[in-house]
Amino acid sequence: DAIGTRTLLNVQKDAIVCGTRTKVARNPNMERLPNNYLFPEIEARQLEHEKKYPDAQVISLGIGDTTEPIPDVITKTMSDYALSLSTLEGYSGYGAEQGNKALRLAIAQKLYPDLAVKDTEVFVSDGSQCDISRIQLLLGSKVTVAVQDPSFPAYIDSSVIIGQASDLQPTTGKYQNIEYMKCVPQNNFFPDLSNASRTDVIFFCSPNNPTGHAASREQLEQLVEFARENGSIIVYDTAYAAYITDKSPRSIYEIPGAREVAIEVSSFSKSAGFTGVRLGWTVVPEELLYSDGFPVVHDYNRIMCTCFNGASNIAQAGGLECLSTEGVRALCSKVDYYKENAQILLDTFSSLGLKAYGGVNAPYVWVHFPGRRSWDVFSEILQKTDIITVPGCGFGPGGEEFIRVGAFGHRETILEASTRLKSLFL
Ligand code: PLP
């Protein structure tokens, strides 16, 4: 969008520094990347607002980071494990690059019950954002890629970095060579696949960041069929699966035929509050083959061995505890807490007569302001209520007219935000 592009150009120009230079040319793919203008721009606007109104008690509903403490049954296990590293019997160094066997097995059995996921198909990692980039490294620069529009920025950014995309088109806000699959209320946040071009790879996130929409079984059946017909690979991101309340599938492997066409990335970040601890995993089924019949899982294993040396053993001990009976119970109560926050926000926007989506199967509420630019809505909300949101255009051109509101926050903050919105906004 115009603001984004203008900021991008300024940031790029401002970053040039006078001084002794090396003879190394900048990677042209990095030059193509928007300099992550969204959050710095939000921060700059927040600072400007606080300077103008020094007494303002600014509330941020913009963050996608967890706020509630990790249940102590999990931290206790991690701390015991960490202390045992100081003993001869408890010390261990490098572990398996693919992850600790017990954790791989627990993920396969407890998170994919009856879905035939094997422990050897689960690769434990330091989080799904890192896995997305490693998958891009696996796929290389020659593949064509589709993303939902709007979408979590890591898919496009990693695609640009690896060299799959051409230049950003300032008029459309889209990269050449990337297929943007529009997901809006009119199509129930699911792309019209009859009009979508074939690509090698389809990044698909459900429940979705930012729209909060969880794809239904029927929608996912269409997606898998589309991938099978086109011989594409789906990279399915379930970072928010723990938030699913209704009957929407929690894994792409609930759809028959998905094992031949889909990789799944997931994370302990938003269920266990592990955004700082760092732990995720990727499933690569044995049946997923390249055009020459070579199994993708062998290459992914190679990537993990070469570009990653295994997740922190302390984090993995915590991950295993997350999947114990007590751990699961503790996590569910945290997730429920954020879901109640989301419901408060959803009700707040609905009571203002606005169409608000998501919030039921995800910790994000996606609010529609028809005909308005999302940065203008962001500014108006900040001006009137001292609340920070995220302008939807930051997630792609399909996010224009929307703002994203996050349900991560302490209850009293969410209630205060709700009161302000109800009494000050509109
Ligand atoms: N995928 C989605 C859709 C996300 O929203 C996020 C984080 O916000 C991630 C992945 C990153 O997760 P992790 O903390 O495991 O890297």
ipTM comes to: 0.99
For residues 211 and 183, is the Cβ–Cβ distance under 8 A?
yes
Cα 278 to averaged position of ligand 1 atoms, centre (Å): 10
SS3 at position 62 = coil
Domain range 72-325, CATH architecture: 3-Layer(aba) Sandwich (3.40)
Quick check: CB of 128 below 6 Å from ligand 1? yes
Contact call for residues 228 and 258 (beta carbons, < 8 A):
no
Per-residue pLDDT of the chain (426 residues), as tens digits, is 333 443 444 455 667 889 999 999 999 999 998 766 788 899 999 999 999 999 999 999 998 899 999 999 999 999 999 999 999 999 999 999 999 999 999 999 999 999 999 999 999 999 999 999 999 999 999 999 999 999 999 999 999 999 999 999 989 999 999 999 999 999 999 999 999 999 999 999 999 999 999 999 999 999 999 999 999 999 999 999 999 999 999 999 999 999 999 999 999 999 999 999 999 999 999 999 999 999 999 999 999 999 999 999 999 999 999 999 999 999 999 999 999 999 999 999 999 999 999 999 999 999 999 999 999 999 999 999 999 999 999 999 999 999 999 999 999 999 999 999 999 876
Fold of 36-65+328-424: Aspartate Aminotransferase, domain 1 (3.90.1150)
3-state secondary structure of 31: helix
Structure tokens at 222: 């269409």
pLDDT, residue 121, reads 98
- Determine whether the shortest distance from the Cβ of 127 to ligand 1 is under 6 A: yes
CA–CA distance, 201 with 139 (Å, rounded to integer)? 9
Contact 339, 333 (CB under 8 A): no
Q: From the alpha carbon of 129, which atom of ligand 1 is closest?
A: 16
Three-class DSSP category at 61: coil
State residue 354's pLDDT score.
Answer: 97
Q: pLDDT tens for residues 18-66?
A: 999 999 999 999 999 876 678 889 999 999 999 999 999 999 999 889 9
Query: String of b and e for 134-163 (b: at least 16 CB within 10 Å)?
Result: bbbebbeeebbbbbbbbbbbbbbbbbbbbb
| DSSP type of residue 71 | P
Burial class (CB in 10 A: 0-12, 13-18, 19+), 26: exposed
Residue with tokens 């001084």: 19
Quick: pLDDT tens for 358-399. Answer: 999 999 999 999 999 999 999 999 999 999 999 999 999 999
Bond from prior residue into 150 cis (ω within 30 degrees of 0): yes
Residue having the nearest C-alpha atom to atom 15 of ligand 1: 127
Q: 123, 125, 267: which to mutate for ligand 1, most atoms within 8 A of CB?
A: 267
Q: What is the rounded CA–CA span in Å between residue 158 and residue 33?
A: 9
Q: Is 129 in the pocket of ligand 1 (CB under 6 A)?
A: yes
Tell me the backbone φ, ψ of residue 122, rounded to 5 degrees.
Answer: -100, 125
DSSP-assigned states of every residue in 130-195: HHHHHHHHHH-TTS-EEEEES--THHHHHHHHHT----EETTTTEETTEEEEE--GGGTT---GGG
Nearest atom in ligand 1 to the alpha carbon of residue 274 is: 14
User: CA distances (Å), 29 to each of 5, 33, 178, 279, in order?
Assistant: 17, 7, 14, 28
- What's the per-residue H, E or C state across 236-301? EECCCHHHCCCCCCCCHHHCCCHHHCEEEEEECHHHHCCCCCCCEEEECCCCCECCCCCEHHHHHH
Q: Taking the domains of the chain in order of start, what are their residue ranges?
A: 36-65+328-424, 72-325
Instruction: Give the pLDDT confidence score for residue 424 in this predicted structure.
Output: 83
Q: Rounded to an integer, what distance in angstroms lies between the CA atom of residue 272 and that of residue 386?
A: 30
For residue 238, give both structure tokens: 């379930």
With the most atoms of ligand 1 within 8 angstroms of its CB, the residue from 124, 155, 243, 270 to mutate is 270
Residue 8 burial (CB count, 10 A):
18
SS (H, E, C) 341-398: HHHHHHHHHHHCCCEEEECCCCCEEEEECCCCCHHHHHHHHHHHHCEECEEHHHHCHH
Q: Is 187 left (phi over 0), alpha (psi -120 to 50) or beta?
A: alpha
pLDDT at 383: 96
d(CA 403, ligand 1 centre) in Å? 19
